[in-house]
Amino acid sequence: MHAWIFFATLALILWGITGVTQKLSTNRITSERSFLWFCWAMVALSGAVLVLAHPHAALGRTVVLCSIAGGALNGMGAWTSFRALESGGKASVVISLVSLYPLLTVVLAVLLLGERLTLLQTAGAILAIAAAILLSMEAPQKAQA
């Protein structure tokens, strides 16, 4: 097994659990307050990383800028997804639509980084994106008595 699939699976599991914990949070407080404390947890985690791990100190400018941009892009994406929901978009439609984001990553990685996928990998990527969209579609709620 490739090492990357092990780490990707761990990411998938942790992010999957956040789907539940986030729901437990936003059932009690506003999405903005929830997002704020999500960010504070990131700061706390980074503090722990700084103390316990020993990150590289000498880094190139391009990779540093890309890492910082990663945080900004991901955080702003979360914020704009809230805006989409608050602008009248149905949750089922908005969340399914934004699940298309890996498609853009695939296109950009192929065009700009020269990545190449085999036929099976291409089929897998398409299936994965379709699966993410279908999984995001909540089952219709039964009318409450």
Partner 1 sequence: MNRKTRSSARQAHCATRLATDILGPVTANSPPAPTPIRPARFPRWLLWSVVTIVLWGTWGLVSKIASEGVDAYANQLLYTAGLAPLLVFVAFTVYKQNTDESRKRRLQGIFWAFLTGILGGGGNIFFFQALVKGGKASIVAPVTALFPMVTVLLALLFLKERLGRLQWIGLILAFAAIYLLSI
Question: Which positions from 45 through 104 interact with partner 1, judged by CB under 8 A?
Answer: 45-46, 49-50, 53-56, 59-60, 62-64, 66-91, 94-95, 97-104
Distance CA 97, CA 99 (A): 5
* Radius of gyration, alpha carbons of the chain: 18
Among left, alpha and beta (phi > 0; psi -120 to 50; other), residue 117 is beta
Shortest CB 25 distance to partner 1, Å: 4
Applying CB under 8 A, among 14, 143, 144, 145 the residue interacting with partner 1 is: 14
- Exposed, middle or buried, 82 (CB in 10 Å: 0-12/13-18/19+)? middle
- What x-and-dash track marks residues 94-123 binding partner 1 by CB under 8 A? xx-xxxxxxxxxxxxxx-xx-x-x--xx-x
Shortest CB 133 distance to partner 1, Å: 7
Question: Which positions from 22 through 41 interact with partner 1, judged by CB under 8 A?
Answer: 22-41
Shortest CB 144 distance to partner 1, Å: 14
Among left, alpha and beta (phi > 0; psi -120 to 50; other), residue 142 is beta
**Residue whose pair of structure tokens reads 């999405």 in the numeric block:** 31
Is residue 13 a contact residue for partner 1 (CB under 8 A)?
yes
